[in-house]
Copies of this chain bind each other. A is one copy, B any other.
Amino acid sequence: MLVGTSHAGNIGACARAMKTMGLRRLVLVAPQQFPDPEATARAVGAEDVLSDAVVCASLDEAIADCQLVVGTSARDRRIPWPQLAPDEAAERLIRAGHDQRVAVLFGRERTGLSNDELDRCQLLVNIPTDPDFSSLNLAAAAQVLAYELRRAFLRGRPSPPAEAEPLGEPPATAADIQRFYAHLESVLTETGFLDPANPRLLMRRLMRLFNRVELTANEVNILRGVLTAVSQYQNHRRES
């Protein structure tokens, strides 16, 4: 999935990068210009990937039914966040892709993915670059990830189906998780722990914690049950 791409040529080059590695499902979130002749020119043989591309207005719409969302990002040591190497991320994606919907997000050419967008990722992947010049072209980054996905695919899929769902339960979808976060934010605001004027830092820490755990659908239900109980208990006391 390409988020907010500025240069249509990069969309075409990404389509070509994907197709060389056997990938076909391209999703464009709010592209600045698409379709575009420059995209078609750079696709060179991957025009079918372009014409089948799904265009979404928002990231939430694009990832709603995805169960594993991996974001690409430059290394950032200011905020603790687990970052995988491309080969590790590819391994996870291929394994999960057996029976789950998975997505890899690539951000804007100049600014990458926003913090809000990164908050929606269970995992982050970082392509190792020279720290003095880490300006990877978007299509070049897509090519490296696509290459690692193909390598992981060719290495075979040794894990039995049981491995794919280590908890024996289906993972939550991105839409389930977004609803849980909204619920959490509202209950934390209600209790006064969260300052609605500045909710982001705390929510970000909590989202990063829960993104790491790769929640199952059932766990999201339990957590939302806890939130509902806290909220009802408070309302009950308020009324009595």
A residues lining the B interface (CB < 8 Å) = 13, 16-17, 19-22, 44-46, 77, 80-83, 86, 127-130, 132-137, 139-140, 143-144, 147, 150-151, 154, 162, 166-169, 188, 190-193, 202, 205-206, 208-210, 212-216, 219, 222-223, 225-226, 229-230, 233-234, 237-238
Report which residue of A20, A45, A169, A233 has the largest number of chain B beta carbons within 10 angstroms of its beta carbon: A20
Copies per complex? 2
What's the dominant secondary structure at chain A's contact region? helix
Please judge, given known A-B contacts A17-B140, A202-B222, whether A150 and B135 are in contact too, CB under 8 Å. Answer: no
Report which residue of A140, A144, A208 has the largest number of chain B beta carbons within 10 angstroms of its beta carbon: A140
Please judge, given known A-B contacts A193-B226, A193-B230, whether A80 and B128 are in contact too, CB under 8 Å. Answer: no
Query: CB < 8 Å: which of B132, B137, B202, B213 contacts A212?
Result: B213
Q: A191-B229, A193-B225, A209-B219 are in contact. List 5 more A-B contacts (CB 8 A).
A: A17-B137, A19-B130, A20-B134, A81-B167, A128-B147
In the complex, what residue of chain B is closest to A42 when comparing beta carbons? Answer: B137
Query: CB < 8 Å: which of B44, B135, B151, B222 contacts A44?
Result: B135
